[in-house]
Amino acid sequence: MKFMQPIPVRDIALQTGAEIIGTADGAVRGMNEIHNVAAGDLTFVDHEKYYSFVLASAASFILINKKIEAPAGKTLLYTTDPFKAYNDIAISQHPTQHSSASIAATAKIGEGTIIYPNAFVGEHVTIGRHCIIYPNVTIYAHTVIGDNVIIHGNSTIGADAFYYKGRGSHYDKMHTIGRTVIHDDVEIGSGCTIDAGVSADTVVGKGTKMDSQVHIGHDATVGEHCILCAQVGIAGNVRIGNHVTMYGKSALSKNISVGDRAVLLGSSASAKSLEGGKTYLGTPADEVHRAARQFAIIKMLPDLWDKLRKL
């Protein structure tokens, strides 16, 4: 998320009680979770395992829970609880928007768009032309929807990111400041859920079609003209290319990518990135011919075991 105007890093330090390490003259232009940072952004790290990754990122300002020397071109803000400090800034810069009206006064609805009764459209939502929003659809604040989009009943667009920090006996919730962006000509089936980005955007590309009960996690990007069948699950920060097909109950773990024109067959799942132009099967997903051969061998194992026992 980019700020309306840059904030002096001294003001960030004052708000969070952090100690500045490095130059104190810079200004923070935005804030982002580590996977989406750019120059001028503020991010955080609170686990030594990730120090090197975060310090080498594009972020210019880093909340950190250890006093170390600031790398060239970066400003560190030392605090014992970077997660809380980051969250406090997020809440102050992007407070939760509430509305008691079915269609918020700040929502912008395009020409020819039909919104059925019992649908909810939140604050600062933008919906393009000639869309159809069926009953019981919920569209959270700041969501952006293009032209000719169809959203079927009981779907929820832009819910909070599923992002928590364990505190021993409880979990602290990360405040969501990202958006959900649905491009033109998308159709979303009934009972689908698309979470907003933690601090960037969750995106569904032009022409993509979703069956019922599909879930897309925070900060995920689905390319253009993809097909997502029923009960597909896509975790946070997944990058899916164009013309990708995911058949029923297939799933992708967080922080991976799928290349253009890949096909993931039904009930398959992957925790690793997949190349484009190939068809995958199984859990963990493998190229279909290789996976089919593995299944065939597995089916032979009981007979082979019986033969070995008789030797």
218 assigned to active site: yes
CA distances from 65 to 21, 61, 79, 123 (A): 12, 13, 5, 36
With both helix axes pointing from N to C terminus, report the angle between 9-16 and 82-93 in degrees, rounded to the nearest 10: 110
User: Is there a contact between 246 and 227 (Cβ–Cβ < 8 Å)?
Assistant: yes
Supply the DSSP symbol for 225.
Answer: T
User: Considering only CA atoms, which of 198, 260, 202, 243 is closest in space to residue 30?
Assistant: 198
Closest CA to 209 of 267, 128, 152: 152
Type of residue numbered 110: G
- Using CB atoms within 10 Å of the CB of residue 98, give its burial: 0 to 12 exposed, 13 to 18 middle, 19+ buried: exposed
Catalytic residue among 218, 225, 243, 289: 218
9: left (phi over 0), alpha (psi -120 to 50) or beta: alpha
Question: What is the 3 state secondary structure string of 25-53?
Answer: CCEEEEECCHHHCCCCEEEEECCHHHHHH
Q: Which two tokens stand for residue 72?
A: 């060239």
Instruction: Indicate the SS3 state at residue 278.
Output: coil
Could you give the residue numbers annotated as active site?
A: 218
